[in-house]
Amino acid sequence: MAGQDDSQKRLNLSILCIGLIATVFLLPILTSQLGWLHTLIPLPIFLVLIGFGTRHGTRIISVAIIVAGTVSVLTGSLASLLVSFTLLPLGFYFAQAAQKKETCLHTAFMGVVLLIACWISSGFLYGLIYHINPYNEIITVFDQGISATYAIYQESSDLSAQALKELEPVFLQLRNIVPVIMPAIVTISAVFTVWLNMTAGNWLLKKKDPCLAPWQDFYYWHLPEKLVWPVIIVGVGLILPIGPLRSFSINGVLILGTLYFFQGLAVLATLFNKWSVPRPFRILVYALILIQAYGFVFLAIAGLADVWLDFRKSRSKTK
């Protein structure tokens, strides 16, 4: 009797997971306002594979994909669903890395490489099928978005003619810089996606059972000390008056700055935890960091300084 109850609970949980995964796939496609959910596609994949095991977890994921595919065909949004599939391998890789007890940094690095490789491969196939250049299409979308934003400002009655005149060169500069920093935008998107899913997945598994968490807390996350050398190289490249080198260095600064931002965020989270800062105040500070560009720069500098100062005394605790 107890065995039947356990089987029924497992079946119900499997159905729930199928619905959850299918929903995460479909909502960003059916509702543009929830497009950000694309970044969370690897999370339920990772959790299901860890919770149910590779064999049964793969069955659940397969059924969920069939459900999502059927709905996409009926709603005429299959092409958008295929884009979401580029994030599937990342969830499988996280589960594999957890089973092999790979370190947090190794998993994150390989996850970024895998995700970018999936995007490039899918973009190449998409270009072959539709005879377009996906990279140029992305740049065009950004350019149109900037132009549309400036048009909204132009139509606004709250801004004076002088203010609009001052804004025009800013938007023009944005349109010129986007094609230059597109490699950094793609890489940073991959880094953020990997960080978000690894952090959330590890936290959720730890909440269920600390033994299930494959990596230590985000508090102990830090970059290799040798990464300081690329920072110095791209810093020098920004100074030298060589066009291609400056473009490469700008992308390098943005990517490395993002990496050290996450390390600075880990430092801040550790200090908040150490000082028992109230949760509402933490949320307020994190929100201000997201809104203000200065917060990003400050945390990136703090993350870089942590390489030498080790604010958290975490070197011996990192997995």
Q: Which residue has the tokens 């959720």?
A: 204
In which band, very low, low, confident or very high, does the pLDDT at 106 lie, cut at 50, 70 and 90?
very high
- % of the chain surpassing 90 pLDDT: 49
Instruction: Give dist(CA 263, CA 167) in Å, integer.
Output: 34
Mean pLDDT of 16-32: 86
Instruction: Give dist(CA 61, CA 259) in Å, integer.
Output: 31
- The answer to whether residue 186 scores a pLDDT higher than 90 is yes
Mean pLDDT of 160-172: 82
Torsion angle defined by CA atoms of residues 152, 154, 158 and 163, in that order, rounded to the nearest 10 degrees: 130
Buried b (16+ CB within 10 A) or exposed e, 202-241: bebbbeeeeeebbbbbbbbbbbeeeeeeebeebeebeeee
Mean pLDDT of 221-241: 89
183: tokens are 């490699």
- The answer to whether residue 120 scores a pLDDT higher than 90 is yes
| Helix/strand/coil percent split, the chain, to 5 | 85, 0, 15
Report yes or no on 224 lying in a domain. Answer: yes
Angle made by CA atoms 138, 139, 145, in degrees to the nearest 5: 90
Report yes or no on 170 lying in a domain. Answer: no
Instruction: Give dist(CA 10, CA 52) in Å, integer.
Output: 9
Report yes or no on 87 lying in a domain. Answer: no
Question: What range defines the domain where residue 240 resides?
Answer: 216-319
pLDDT at residue 318, rounded to an integer: 47
pLDDT at residue 319, rounded to an integer: 45
Report yes or no on 286 lying in a domain. Answer: yes
Report yes or no on 64 lying in a domain. Answer: no
How many Cβ atoms are within 10 Å of 183's Cβ, its own excluded? Answer: 18
Report yes or no on 47 lying in a domain. Answer: no
Mean pLDDT of 79-93: 88
- Asked if 115 and 94 count as a contact pair (C-beta separation under 8 A), the reply is no
Report yes or no on 227 lying in a domain. Answer: yes
The pLDDT tens digits for 280-313 are 999 999 988 888 888 899 999 999 999 888 887 7
pTM of full prediction above 0.95 = no
Q: For residue 236, how many C-alpha atoms fall within 13 Å in the half-sphere facing its CB? A: 5
Query: Total domain count for the chain?
Result: 1
- The answer to whether residue 87 scores a pLDDT higher than 70 is yes
Q: What CA–CA distances, in Å, run from 36 to 20, 28, 193, 265, 280? A: 16, 7, 10, 21, 24
* Mean pLDDT (the chain, rounded): 88
Report yes or no on 1 lying in a domain. Answer: no
pLDDT at residue 315, rounded to an integer: 57
pLDDT at residue 17, rounded to an integer: 93
More confident residue, 149 or 79: 149
Of 56-65, 180-189, 206-215, 254-263, give the lowest mean pLDDT range. Answer: 206-215
Task: Classify 278 as helix, strand or coil.
Answer: coil
pLDDT at residue 198, rounded to an integer: 96
More confident residue, 82 or 14: 14
Buried b (16+ CB within 10 A) or exposed e, 270-306: bebeeeeeeeeeeeeeeeebeeeeebbeebbebbbeb
More confident residue, 290 or 70: 70
- Asked if 187 and 284 count as a contact pair (C-beta separation under 8 A), the reply is no
